[in-house]
A and B are shown apart, each in its own frame.
Chain A
Amino acid sequence: MTELSCKLLVIGAGPGGYVCAIRAGQLGLDTVIVEQARPGGTCLNVGCIPSKAMIHAANEFHKAAHTASGSQIGLTTGMPSLDLAQTIDWKDGIVGRLNSGVAGLLKKSKVRSVTGTARFHDGKKVVVDGPDGETTITAENIVIATGSTSVELPGLPFDESFVQSSTDILADRVLPEKLVVVGGGYIGLELGTAFAKLGVSVTLVEAAKRILPQYDAELTKPVMDRLLALGITLHTETFAQAVGADGTSLKVRNTEGVETTLPADKVLVTVGRRPVTQGLALDRLALAMDGPFIKIDDRCTTAMRGIYAIGDVTGEPMLAHRAMAQGEMVAEIIAGQKRVWDKYAMPAICFTDPEILTVGLSAEEAKSEGHKVKTGKFPFTANGRAMTTEREDGFVLVVARADTHRVLGIQAVGENISEMAAGFALAIEMGACLEDIAGTIHAHPTKGEGLQEAALMGRGHSLHI
């Protein structure tokens, strides 16, 4: 048995944990990070990055397949073919590069890495079961960054081959012919769209009345249109029941009680994620919980002194960039700096087709917080760059306070709109008013002009519509 002691112990090397450890190392804190798998967490290994790689491959394939039958720009290609195994290798290569990148950054910051699963002995001591046996780590401060994992449906447990999680399907080297996706949230839609573009017959089952129920219908409509155009079959207000008796179908039932059997080679279940708190022996601590999540305050401190929690394990929104910002903040707090969570806005992106980007409050949310609001909306049908890339679907919507014109939220839907997240978030975090955005020169011709036009529209005088 090995014994270590340190100033800071980080449990979990996902985006929250590794950023926290790197920052702590930079600040000269003696830091140890524990991870049971490869560094980078869900995001890097089986989440954001692999799915974006698959979405890119699907888009490329789909575009080529589309032009095989000619196109309006005069381009005709031959019918493409895809070697999915090679695609997976390419994706794994990217993940591998990022894995070693994170490992290198940790090393450069003089963070010690320990492989294994951690469990609390008490509030200052953690035992790690690893390939080399047990390591006992005594730490002045401990950051819980254990992340989240896919939720299973009762009656439809993951079996890695037929009923799959997003992790499983992103590693599969064979395309299914018929894929049923259970859950119309962003993960199901991103992957469902990608597989549809790869030629898979995709059926989507969603329990709510519409897909992406947490978003405004206005934002999801272009995505909905695209799903239908890609030939995806949609069953809303429908619940997955069980695998069919033949093992190649999924039984579902709608709210009216009508049962249907959907034929499938694979079932992808994406009905949400739950925090990873099991196995940590959290019962040995006296942490306050917030439902299934660890309760934290605005400094990410838990109910116990010296124990912090960051990332998905602390609740919604479960986003890598939220975890990273929390991790950085906690490292600085432990290093003795004054820090507090004072962010105005949290950007969130659905990498659907087209992509949906939201930052800050929607008009409805702003009203429910008691604000009188002005909104400005600019459609890409009036944007030159959108026309020349053959993607005029989507719009930018700016929500501002009616009295001060301060921008409270920006939402947009459109192809590649995710790259505008930087500008949207910066505007809100800087406390910009409509006049600030309207008064900033936006380069022409870009889709970014949509933001300026929407701000002008909020002031009541758009120039190009």
Chain B
Amino acid sequence: MGTHVILMPDVGEGIAEAEIAELLIPVGDVLREDDIFASVMTDKATVEIPSTVSGKVTWYAGEVGDSIAIGAPLVKIEVDGPGNEAEVLTVEPDPESTVDAEPTSAVDAPAKTPASAPAPPPLAPPKALQSTTKLRTPREKPVASPAVRRRALDAGVDLRQVPGSGQGRRVTHEDLDGFIALGGTSPLGAGRGPDTSVEEVKVVGLRRKIAERMVLAKTRIPHITIVEEVDVTSLEELRGCLNAERGDRPKLTILPFLMSAMVTALREQQNLNALYYDDDGIVHQHGAVHIGIATQTPAGLMVPVVRHCEARSIWDMASELGRVAEAARTGTAAREELSGSTISITSLGKLGAIATTPIINYPEVAIIGVNKMTIRPMWNGTEFVPRKVMNLSSSFDHRVIDGWDAAVFVQRLKTLLETPAMIFVEG
């Protein structure tokens, strides 16, 4: 009979001790080889420890909750045969290698760390730091005065991560202050000091109004957003022709065409041209199509309204759109020019991105977002051809608009815009 000692295995990079989380086999009980007898916990992982021998447990290094040093005896097991106690307790790996080398398999710690909890990879320094600052090798001690070192230790800062501004990359009190002020994560670029100034900007006037409207819309309305791709090559040709012969009429942008398409599509889906007064539980479906156009003004976002689009020609819509948008920008818009819309459009023009998630202009139930127009290769059945393509990102109030209806509306807009003649043919 002999005693076999199993040491606390190296359960993770740079960990000096591990806490016993569970002791599954009480002292006095018999275990077999590969039986899990304990699980230990580090701040990174919980690892189950299997036995490498069969025998009777005679001793544990501690109870649940106790921390045991890596490489220290964890359990003693009475085994048939000589055991390994004598060699384990005299032959020790040197202190350096236990910290950063392989598990101490040489002295019969479990040779394999259980697959359920692999040792986490060593923490890599932040990428940004690598690119801007020459780092010390991990083993190299950071250069700092004893006072700085003590402060870092107390603050839980690994000084090797702190870029030193002193000669020889010595870390000064100021370097440490800066590192801590930045939350200890994002190190400074070379030569650039951190700007820790904070300017207070009061949210008042139009900005506060916008904020309230956004919160109202975003908290009350469950948005559903559909993004669809629209081939506007034909529309652009048509627009080009119309603009070439416009005379002294205003130049047509894509918006009047979209507005016209919306008028056409809304004729079939009037429930989208509506105001949902949710407090009263009533939806007002409007016959008139008053389209709000989200417009960036020097004061902030405004939504001037082109009223009665259902009664306007495309040229008429274009000139009215130009007028109310200009009024909004110059701050001369009348109250009724900024309210009463039944559906809205938001367009960022060239900044329009690929897709957006527009917020509905409460209490409306739909908003159409226009994304950037680009030339993309499109498959026409035999080859790729360059086509002008634009996405529409449209949001709907999912309380009163089903996804199906929303999709039908978007598809209708797509069809109309891809074959613009259909917009103008009275059906």
Contact = CB atoms under 8 A, between A and B. Distances in A.
Enumerate the 9 nearest inter-chain pairs by beta-carbon distance, A residue then B residue, closest first: A404-B168, A303-B72, A406-B168, A431-B143, A431-B170, A430-B145, A433-B167, A286-B73, A288-B92
B89 A288 contact: yes
Interface stretch (B62-70, B300-308, B414-422): B62-70
Interface stretch (B146-154, B180-188, B339-347, B371-379): B146-154
Contact of A338 (B68, B143, B154, B170): B154
A342 to B, nearest CB: 5
Contacts of A303: 69, 71-73
Contacts of A342: 141, 149, 153
Interface stretch (A142-150, A289-297, A387-395): A289-297
5 contacts: A286-B73, A290-B92, A339-B153, A405-B167, A433-B168
Contact of B167 (A290, A344, A435): A435
B168 A431 contact: yes
A64 B321 CA distance: 112
B266 interface: no
Contacts of A305: 61-62, 66-69
A250 to B, nearest CB: 35
B314 interface: no
Contacts of B69: 288, 297, 301-305
A23 interface: no
A37 interface: no
A401 interface: yes
B138 interface: no
Given A286-B89, A404-B168, A297 B95 contact: yes
Contacts of B67: 305
A429 interface: yes
Contacts of B90: 289
A324 to B, nearest CB: 15
Contacts of B143: 406, 431
Contact of B72 (A286, A340, A435): A286
B153 A429 contact: no
A431 B144 CA distance: 6
B166 interface: yes
Nearest to B168: A404
Contact of B169 (A297, A304, A404): A404
Interface in A267-315: 286, 288-290, 295-297, 299, 301-305
Interface string B71-105: 11100000000000000011010110000000000
B66 A405 contact: no
Nearest to A339: B153
A344 B170 CA distance: 13
B72 A288 contact: yes
Interface in B149-182: 149, 153-154, 156, 166-170
Contacts of A435: 167
Contact of A405 (B72, B73, B168): B168
B16 interface: yes
B174 to A, nearest CB: 14
Contact of A340 (B66, B95, B153, B166): B153
Interface string A413-433: 000000000000000011101
A338 B73 contact: no
A401 B71 contact: no
A317 B110 CA distance: 34
A301 B145 CA distance: 25
B167 A304 contact: no
Contact of B170 (A288, A302, A406): A406
B16 A297 contact: yes
Contacts of A339: 153
Given A303-B73, A305-B68, A430 B146 contact: yes
Nearest to A296: B95
A398 B245 CA distance: 88
Nearest to B61: A286
Interface string A107-131: 0000000000000000000000000
Given A406-B168, A430-B146, A431-B145, A304 B153 contact: no
Contact of B153 (A301, A338, A344, A431): A338
B92 A404 contact: no
Contacts of A288: 69, 71-72, 89, 92
A290 B92 CA distance: 7
Nearest to A338: B153
A340 B89 CA distance: 26
Contacts of A299: 16
Q: For B61, B67, B154, B167, which residue has the most chain A Cβ atoms within 10 angstroms?
A: B167
B67 to A, nearest CB: 6
A168 B89 CA distance: 36
Contact of B168 (A295, A302, A344, A401): A401
Nearest to B169: A404
Interface string A355-374: 00000000000000000000
A405 B149 CA distance: 20
A162 B98 CA distance: 46
A289 B67 CA distance: 19
Contacts of B62: 305
A195 B284 CA distance: 114
Interface in A11-44: none
Contact of A290 (B61, B94, B149): B94
Contact of B146 (A304, A406, A429): A429
Q: For B69, B89, B95, B149, which residue has the most chain A Cβ atoms within 10 angstroms?
A: B69
A163 B309 CA distance: 118
A305 B66 CA distance: 8
A369 B202 CA distance: 59
A405 B16 CA distance: 33
A297 B97 CA distance: 12
A377 B154 CA distance: 39
B418 to A, nearest CB: 67
Contacts of A429: 145-146
Contacts of B141: 342, 344
B166 A431 contact: yes
Contacts of B149: 342
A297 B71 CA distance: 11
Interface string A142-183: 000000000000000000000000000000000000000000
Interface string B122-137: 0000000000000000
A398 to B, nearest CB: 14
Given A303-B69, A406-B168, A433-B170, 12 more contacts: A290-B94, A295-B95, A296-B95, A297-B69, A301-B69, A303-B71, A338-B154, A338-B156, A342-B141, A342-B149, A405-B167, A431-B145
